[in-house]
Amino acid sequence: MVKDLQSTVALHNGVHMPWFGLGVYKVTDQSEIVEVVSAALKHGYRHIDTASFYQNEEGVGKGIRDSGISREDIFVTSKVWNDEQGYEETLEAFDNSLKRLGMDYLDLYLIHWPVARKFKETWKALEKLYREGRVRAIGVSNFHVHHLQDLMKDAEIKPMVNQIEYHPHLTQEEVHAFCKKEGILLEAWSPLKRGILLDEPVLIEIGQKYSKTPAQIILRWDLQTEVITIPKSSNVERLKENADIFDFELTSEEMKQISSLNKNDRVGKNPNDLDQK
């Protein structure tokens, strides 16, 4: 049961990951990211998601240190970017991420996109880092079912998480069902579709019933679909508002209404269209 910001789910290796977290994509001003991360942690967040591509790992690390919260109580994710992939390259990228964060381990490390001819070697590097205890869990991001199947043919360790674009206009039912069957946790990036969904009449109407915003309704829907969610915000009041979703529960009918908004419509790239050279 997801009761609060500290509620966790057990990954298939037994590591506990908070259901709700803070995404920090596009927050590149270092003083701003320090303030946002520190404020989120002081408000009760315990899960921060960054990536080398975001160019803000230094600020994330400083925000964590400035918060006064023990490192062991915070779940930190980073990702290996496309031009860092390959076996040796990934090991180096991981070291660089740790240095920028000022940490000696990560809680979760992900392959950011399925770069063809490289993601299998990249995964071998993640398996090595995991076996060495330098990262507590490993996973992927933006993987379709066929990418996962291809990876798992040769993998010794199954991914623990698949972080994908997921929101009421892109419910990714095939990926969701496959991951559930395989014991891979799904995690949503861009859960609010970069704000596009906030004018959706169905969400506004359901929100009025609970005195909640459309954003809060979507984030509650994420959790009730058993999807980890990491809305991003650089506004401290907004991060508090995003997290105010634990005092109500959507009915099964409302859940269906929201899911039926699906249009298979993305705001990010389709992983199949990624420049894979």
What are the sequence ranges of the domains in the chain?
8-195+225-234
Give the catalytic positions in this structure: 54
Q: How much of the chain, in percent, has pLDDT values that exceed 90? A: 92
Confidence bin at 275 (pLDDT 50/70/90):
low
Strands 75-80, 108-111: pairing kind: parallel
238 is written with which tokens? 């907004």
pLDDT value at residue 276: 46
Asked if 190 contacts 219 with a C-beta cutoff of 8 angstroms, the reply is no
Cα first-last separation, the chain: 43
Comparing C-alpha atoms, which of 78, 225, 230, 91 is closest to residue 164?
230
What CA–CA distance (Å, rounded) separates 159 from 178?
A: 12
For residues 89-121, one letter each, b for 16 or more C-beta atoms within 10 angstroms of the residue's C-beta and e for the rest, the string is: bbbebbeebbebbebebbbbbbbbbbbeebbbe
Within a 13 Å sphere around the CA of 91, how many CA atoms are in the beta-carbon half? 10
Strands 47-49, 22-23: pairing kind: parallel
68 phi-psi bin (left φ>0, alpha ψ -120 to 50, beta other):
left
pLDDT one-digit tens code per residue, 58-112: 999 999 999 999 999 999 999 999 999 999 999 999 999 999 999 999 999 999 9
What CA–CA distance (Å, rounded) separates 183 from 176?
A: 10
Angstrom CA distances, 217 to 226, 227, 233, 235, stand at: 14, 14, 16, 19
pLDDT one-digit tens code per residue, 226-258: 999 999 988 899 999 999 999 999 999 999 999
- Report if pTM > 0.85: yes
pLDDT one-digit tens code per residue, 129-183: 999 999 999 999 999 999 999 999 999 999 999 999 999 999 999 999 999 999 9
Comparing C-alpha atoms, which of 248, 213, 249 is closest to residue 231?
213
pLDDT value at residue 27: 78
58 Cβ contact partners less than 8 Å away, ≥ 6 residues apart: 30, 100, 101, 102
φ, ψ at 274 (rounded to 5°): -60, 140
pLDDT value at residue 277: 41
125 is written with which tokens? 């590097």
pLDDT one-digit tens code per residue, 5-49: 999 999 999 999 999 999 998 877 888 999 999 999 999 999 999
Across the chain, mean pLDDT equals 95
Does domain 8-195+225-234 sit in CATH 3.20.20.100? yes
Query: Is residue 273 over pLDDT 90?
Result: no
